[in-house]
Structure 1
Amino acid sequence: MKEWLNKGEHWIWLSASTVSISVVLVLSLLAMISYKGLAHFWPHPVYEFNIGSPNGDTTRILGELQETKNKVVVEASGLKTLIPQYLIKMGNRDVFGIDFKWVSSENVQGKMDTLAKDPVVIERYEYGNVYGHFSSFTLNGKTTNDPTQIRSELQVQVAKGKALHSAITSIEKFDMGAVNKHIEDLRFEEKKLRIKGAFTPEDESRLKAERAEFQKTFIAYQAEVKVLYDQKETLGEVAVAISNGQVLRVPVEKVVQFWQPNNMNYVEKLGFFFSSIGHFISEDPREANTEGGIFPAMIGTIVMVLLMTVFVTPMGVVAAIYMREYAKDGLILRLVRISINNLAGVPSIVFGIFGLGFFVYIIGGSIDELFYGYALPSPTFGTPGLLWASLTMALLTLPVVIVSTEEGLSRIPMSLREGGLALGATKSETIWKIVLPMATPAIMTGLILAIARAAGEVAPLMLVGVVKLAPELPIDSVAPFIHLDNKFMHLGFHIYDVGFQSPNVEAAQPLVYATSLLLVIIIVSLNLGAITIRNRLREKYKALEN
């Protein structure tokens, strides 16, 4: 035993055990997030529950069994008893006021696993899901009571409704939004000319004519949207029998989709599963972010991380080259390196406060005074936005890139530098054409770490540009295509908002796991791309390093 300890093999086993435990914990965390996140999109069976009340009445409700936990009850004798408690998602929020209800097993009459017969789940644009049975369907004054025919006609009308909803959203969000932007630009142009004292009658007539043309286009869009809204109102109405024989009438124009989970086979459930994931990724959030998709947050996260990468790479590389290749070793350089290492440990909220004070108020305010004075007092760049968020995250991750790049430069043999200089190249040419290309794998390593940290940070972004709901995407088809002054949504902040600020905690919980899973996938995808580039560069310059 003593010989074994002297050889140091126990440290090897201890290190291996620690690494194994860490890997297991990480994989377990990812497995839990994946399971709970993906389970949100699976069509869960609908059960029928008979709930008794103290006065002897029985309430029949339909819903999904979401969670089961035991409640500890202490009897008079001191004996502790575990009583199962069930969380039921019963929907119909506009009727009951809540989506979820905790029920004690003591109040449940009959079996908990009694499947409802031919239930229907209707997802709406507001007030959540409807759980019940088809009662009737009314279209153009004609009423149908046959469930099979109701389902068939409802499928057709819901498809028409979704097409109309997409057309209305496109016109209101993009076409009418672009017209409003042009009208606002004309207002700013007039204000700019008046400030300069160069506003002429010709300018007035020109701007008036252009404004009239845009107003005409806007009115045409309004008329087109009104026609589409009128068409939505003619899609019919479905009546659903819900708990205790109540009938809830749902206009088809408010229906997102519907399904009958108890009647679906495995292939149909699988198709519904992937369709739900597609809707989650491609749609905008609804109902205070507790329903719908996360498309704006996903786009905002990706754009912010890519812009951060564009900003942090040249700053980090140039700083590392100067400290390694040009600066003389001494007290000042050692202090700079210590400061950079200390910056890596500064709380992220401090960077957010710095970004708000320096970038937003000082730099952004100065830009507004110099170039956008005609828009004041409404700020253009003197307010939190995409540009300042990206720069703040670039500063946050700058120490990682500098240290990683400097480590890579230190591993380049001095003989290669001397060989370049001996062949007549200048020092800058040697660094640019020999040293820097060989250090690119180390630079990519720093970027991988920077991307992983920047994509998951939330605290600084809350101060410099991230909002709960952004009306416009930071990137679109309107010039200049990337709107650096826009506020944006972020997956990390979306998780925080849904998980801790939501008025409907139970409904938000699955979305927290689903959004977390998507954020992990985005980070892994960006890192895999960087790792692939790094490996190719490493193989390219491997012979030179040897």
Structure 2
Amino acid sequence: MRQSFTEWTKSGAPWVWLNAGAVAICMIMVVGLLSLIAVRGLGHFWPADIVQAEYKENNNSIRMIGERVQVQEVAAEQLRDGGVNVPADVETMDRVLMKIGNRDHGGTDFIWILDDFIEESSKPEMLFAAERREWGNFYGYLRSIKESGNEVAAYDGYEKSADYEALWNEFQNRIERAEMIHDQIKDIEKGKIGSINYELERLRLKERALQLKEVTDTAKYAEIDARRAELNAEYEGLQGELLDLYNAVNRDSITAEIANGKIVEFKVAHIVRAFLPNDMGLGGKTGHYFAKLWEFLSDDPREANTEGGIFPAIYGTVLMVIIMSVMVTPFGVVAAVYLREYAKQGFVTRVIRIAVNNLAGVPSIVYGVFGLGFFVYFLGGHIDDAFFAEAKPAPTFGTPGLLWASITLALLTVPVVIVATEEGLTRIPRAVREGSLALGATKFETLMKIVIPMASPAIMTGVILAIARAAGEVAPLMLVGVVKLAPSLPLDGNYPFLHLDQKFMHLGFHIYDVGFQSPNVEAARPLVYATAFLLVAVIAMLNLSAIQIRNHLREKYKALEM
């Protein structure tokens, strides 16, 4: 029998379809947004071809070398207002954003040109791109290699040949040599010398503490002086090694021809990698892409965070979230257990629950201001007075750091854990509690061995929500510990290994810094997309780990719920 429209409406079927459609639209929007971020961010690491073009505008002709980054349509009237000679019958023209690099010679990395004014365009196989430690990318023709100022190989043609391939292979070998020396320098500077400086500072503080306590035992001072002398001797030896390494790494240099025909020279040590994108096949470009992607995930940033990697930001984000979770979980669970199992259910309890729910809606920047005022200045200042008097006036815990950032975010997310835990405790049947008590267990034993384990999936749900919110917060962290660039990681090999007083980098703040504070906007834009996609991926992995734990607990205690 055919159902009438009125009966179909009353059955609730339209609302089911509307809800399904809303969920589908939301999923499409989320997937579309993530796809857009992934394409614009991860596509940045693909090696683009280098174009050589003859560009003529208003009777001025110049040779240009660079990458085509973006194309946009511009109204001809707008160009005429800017002084560009555009034919009267033209309504729109394509404008191309070219990454020309060579900022140390031209003053800018990017330039806008009109596609219609490009007279000749080609992609010579000999054009190479070099990623440098400073001044961004370099584009040009390799002309010669010098060792200690003496030319050892050269080529002055524009067609690829066996001589040029030999020159290029020698160039790659010298880049590889320079990279190996840079790794040795980094190991000495950040590893060995960093550890020595850290221990010297600890000796200084130990000596200062003895002076404040007015200790007169000369043996203790002599022990400190002896150890300091050993460290200084070791430091001098490492300084000599560093001097030799710097002389070795600066031995080689190259000359190259840039777009205007000028021959320039710079050190091979300034180059991170060099490649010939126009001469690379699909396999070569794929290998280059994954090498760049790995560098992005594992290396330190450079060039005002617009080049290199973001490993310190990944490390800081994950470590902060782990410490925050360790803090917020027991506190939130204890509070929820007290409110549900021990507190007398009345007006005061209802007010507390309302207050907890309202705390979840407080803007995060308010928590940041509170964390700065109470945790950093008040609590941290008193900790310095009580335990780190020898370090004053330089603050130890009386300054923003990892500990205060984690506690601030724990305070921000604790209402979520409390509410989720209370809901989990509410769903546990009263008969389970009564059965445990009837068998002789105390109320505390019932809670610890029966109730809380059964509520653990709900507790994990609260932790998952807390992780999702805390990992993406930026505003409070700007006040309580995050920085643009941290010189070292908060977890290292120096005692006490985990440095809770140290400032750290964070993916969310890195996105803000690169997107809004970078002096090179065009270079920073793709990294904003790439970092945003990575932040989403990190949050997803943290959540998936917590969800896996929750599912395991749910299966483990399913029999008790039946």
TM-score scaled by length of structure 1: 0.97
The amino acid of 1:214's aligned partner reads L
Residue 131 of structure 2 corresponds to 123
Residue 161 of structure 1 corresponds to 178
RMSD: 1.5
Tell me, yes or no, if the aligned pair for 2:55 and 2:120 is still in contact at 8 Å: no
**For 1:81-120, what aligned pairs fall within 5 Å after superposition?**
81-110=91-120, 114-120=122-128
Residue 522 of structure 1 corresponds to 538
Shift of residue 169 of structure 1? 1.1
Shift of residue 250 of structure 1? 2.3
SS of 2:266's equivalent in the other structure is strand
Residue 139 of structure 1 corresponds to 147
| 2:350 is the alignment partner of 1:334 | yes
How far apart, in 1, do the equivalents of 2:221 and 2:452 lie? 57
Tell me, yes or no, if the aligned pair for 2:125 and 2:276 is still in contact at 8 Å: no
Tell me, yes or no, if the aligned pair for 1:168 and 1:225 is still in contact at 8 Å: yes
The amino acid of 1:86's aligned partner reads V
Residue 211 of structure 2 corresponds to 194
How far apart, in 1, do the equivalents of 2:223 and 2:448 lie? 53
Partner residue of 1:8 out of 3, 12, 15: 12
Residue 182 of structure 1 corresponds to 199
Q: Gapped runs of 5+ residues in structure 2?
A: 81-86, 156-162
Q: Gapped runs of 5+ residues in structure 1?
A: none
Partner residue of 1:304 out of 283, 308, 320: 320
Residue 242 of structure 2 corresponds to 225
Residues 317-366 of structure 1, C-alpha deviation per residue, up to 9 Å, x if partnerless?
00110011111111111011111111111100000001001110111011
Residues 133-168 of structure 1, C-alpha deviation per residue, up to 9 Å, x if partnerless?
121222352233232112111111111111111111
Residue 447 of structure 1 corresponds to 463
How far apart, in 2, do the equivalents of 1:487 and 1:128 lie? 28
Tell me, yes or no, if the aligned pair for 2:153 and 2:167 is still in contact at 8 Å: no
Residue 83 of structure 2 corresponds to none
SS of 2:91's equivalent in the other structure is strand
How far apart, in 1, do the equivalents of 2:487 and 2:351 lie? 46
| 2:39 is the alignment partner of 1:35 | yes
Partner residue of 1:59 out of 55, 62, 68: 62
How far apart, in 1, do the equivalents of 2:125 and 2:283 lie? 20
**For 1:375-524, what aligned pairs fall within 5 Å after superposition?**
375-524=391-540
SS of 1:132's equivalent in the other structure is strand
Tell me, yes or no, if the aligned pair for 1:364 and 1:381 is still in contact at 8 Å: yes
Show structure 1 runs of 4+ deviating over 6 A. 75-80
Residue 166 of structure 2 corresponds to 149
Q: Which moved more, 1:191-200 or 1:503-512?
A: 191-200
The amino acid of 2:65's aligned partner reads L
Residues 391-410 of structure 1, C-alpha deviation per residue, up to 9 Å, x if partnerless?
00101111111111111111
Equivalences, count: 542
Residue 536 of structure 1 corresponds to 552
Residues 512-536 of structure 1, C-alpha deviation per residue, up to 9 Å, x if partnerless?
1111111111111111111111111
How far apart, in 2, do the equivalents of 1:452 and 1:18 lie? 23
Tell me, yes or no, if the aligned pair for 1:51 and 1:58 is still in contact at 8 Å: yes
SS of 2:69's equivalent in the other structure is strand
How far apart, in 1, do the equivalents of 2:462 and 2:221 lie? 55
Residue 255 of structure 2 corresponds to 239
How far apart, in 1, do the equivalents of 2:138 and 2:495 lie? 43
| 2:278 is the alignment partner of 1:262 | yes
Tell me, yes or no, if the aligned pair for 2:486 and 2:504 is still in contact at 8 Å: yes
Shift of residue 388 of structure 1? 0.2
Residue 373 of structure 1 corresponds to 389
Tell me, yes or no, if the aligned pair for 1:74 and 1:80 is still in contact at 8 Å: no
Shift of residue 223 of structure 1? 0.7
Q: How has the CA–CA distance of structure 1 residues 104 and 352 changed in structure 2, closer, same or farther, with 3 Å as cutoff?
A: same
How far apart, in 1, do the equivalents of 2:260 and 2:203 lie? 59
How far apart, in 1, do the equivalents of 2:120 and 2:168 lie? 30
SS of 2:142's equivalent in the other structure is strand
Shift of residue 80 of structure 1? 8.3
Tell me, yes or no, if the aligned pair for 2:131 and 2:271 is still in contact at 8 Å: yes
Partner residue of 1:72 out of 75, 80, 95: 75
Tell me, yes or no, if the aligned pair for 1:71 and 1:84 is still in contact at 8 Å: yes
Tell me, yes or no, if the aligned pair for 1:62 and 1:116 is still in contact at 8 Å: no
